[in-house]
Amino acid sequence: MPPLRTPTYVITSELRDKQAREAMVERLRLGLGGRLKMIETRLAIAAATALLLGTMATSAWSADLGGNCCADLEERIAELEATTARKGNRKVSLTISGQVSKAVLFWDDGFESNQYVVGNKNDQTNFSFDGEATIAPGWMAGYSLTLRVEDNLSDGVDQGDASADRNFQIWKSHWWIAYEKLGRIAVGRESRVSDTAPETDFSEAGLAGYAGVQDVGGGFLLRRADGAFSGLAWGDLGNHFNGDTTDLIRYDTPELMGFVVSASWGADDIWDAGIRYSGEGGGFKFEAVVAYTEVTDAPSDFADVDQSTVVGSAALLHEPSGLNALIAAGHREFDATVADGDGVLRTPDDVKFVYSKLGWLAQLNGLGPTAFYGEYGWFDNFVTSGLDADGVSSLSFTAVANVCAGAGNACRVTDSELEVWGFGVVQHIEAAEMQVFIGYRHHTADFTLVDNAGAGVAGAGIEDFDTIIAGSKIAF
């Protein structure tokens, strides 16, 4: 919003009238919100000037003005009233915030390369409305509404489609009540306890790369060594078990010696519990979190098979040097059987991942911190039992009609492995609440295929996949 520009006015006896001044101040209070103090200061100066010059005022001045000295002031107030956001009452605060996050994604799948303009799913465009009010000493109540913008996101595009969804997503919509001695309870669409559990990070470089490796290029199909596409995308081979948001009831304890314990329960019988610790001393900052999730009513919006997951992360920052490191890991077990590629019911193998990052926060210029990082992720068994015949065939040279027809024909996948490594840099521009970045990643996939006798079968081979994402985020 541009700075307020107050016109010059001719002072008349009308401004000396107390009731007129009070009415004008009230109108300014309603129309200008946070600019009230500046307006009142200017009005006080005008009134003081009026009192000083009042004895020299003549009736001709008023006559020349036609009795309407403040027409231009009223016009300015009307203009500001039409363009100023106001909250509905004076008891509950309103904070509007958000960000715009866009990037260019360069990719190479071994046979084709291109570049797309995308929304950066690592930290996507969104806007939030948050408020709170004091009920009594120690008691607070509030609300949160966050809308995420799905604007051609970096995890939705692929080789054949440069345009993904363009939509709005209700990310959060809940109310909460908190008491400083008992904790906080929230009801509505809110983060599960496992949300952000694998994302503890002091690198200040998450905009370019973080544990959710599927968020950049995850929609691209795996390219076989013969140039054909497989039936799988890179995002199918690994993710970081993040809990995201859903409709739930959540409780968080007050912080005690750096610890906060949390629990949440949502529809379709999904519940989470976790503990977080934050502390600092001796020039170091440390944070760690671990969360447990149980899904017991699958298939549902959360999972196809009943499962339990443990996920967590820990991060360390040496503040004097800016050196930092993190590790995130997760393990998932399944509690039901699924039809495998050969038609046999099997319990999927346990799934696990490990992600690590090393970083350096440096003060190299007057713009703000410069964040350098290197990353490595390993994701195991995300594709095994449950892959159908078409999926198995797409990873081998076996025609679908001949899957499991005999020895040497691929029947099922017994193991999958994804390795991701990369590096990048993020420059913070503090004067504009802005970040500019570039990040590179290399993806490698491997599968173990067997025939109906359990003997190994050679796969078609998968080409490596490379991405470079570069762009910016500006917050408001």
pTM of the full predicted structure? 0.82
Three-state DSSP class for 13? helix
Over residues 220-229, the mean pLDDT reads 97
Give yes or no for residue 9 having a pLDDT over 50. no
What are residue 65's phi and psi, to 5 degrees? Answer: -85, -5
pLDDT recorded at residue 67: 47
DSSP string, 270-299: EEEEEEEEEEEETTEEEEEEEEEEEE-S-S
DSSP string, 56-123: G--HHHHHHHTT-TTHHHHHHHHHHHHH----S-SSS--EEEEEEEEEEEEEE-SS-EEEEEEE-GGG
CA distances from 273 to 194, 253, 312 (A): 8, 12, 12
What's the pLDDT tens digit per position in 422-451? 999 999 999 999 999 999 999 999 999 999
Q: What is the mean pLDDT of the chain?
A: 87
Residue 265, both tokens: 């329960």
Three-state DSSP class for 17? coil
Give yes or no for residue 416 having a pLDDT over 80. yes
Give yes or no for residue 233 having a pLDDT over 80. yes
pLDDT: is 330 or 24 the higher one?
Answer: 330
Task: Give the integer Cα–Cα distance in Å for 75 and 302.
Answer: 55
Task: Judge whether 421 and 377 are in contact, CB under 8 Å.
Answer: yes
pLDDT recorded at residue 35: 45
Three-state DSSP class for 162? coil
pLDDT recorded at residue 82: 61
pLDDT recorded at residue 68: 53
Confidence of residue 11 (pLDDT cuts 50, 70, 90): very low
pLDDT recorded at residue 408: 86
Pairing of strands 345-346, 338-339: antiparallel
pLDDT recorded at residue 295: 95
Over residues 119-139, the mean pLDDT reads 97
Over residues 156-171, the mean pLDDT reads 96
pLDDT: is 475 or 42 the higher one?
Answer: 475
Torsion angle, CA of 136/138/143/146, rounded to 10 degrees?
150
The C-alpha angle with vertex 111 and arms to 105 and 116, in degrees rounded to 5, equals: 20
pLDDT recorded at residue 297: 87
What's the pLDDT tens digit per position in 33-66? 444 344 444 444 444 444 433 433 344 334 444 4
pLDDT recorded at residue 26: 52
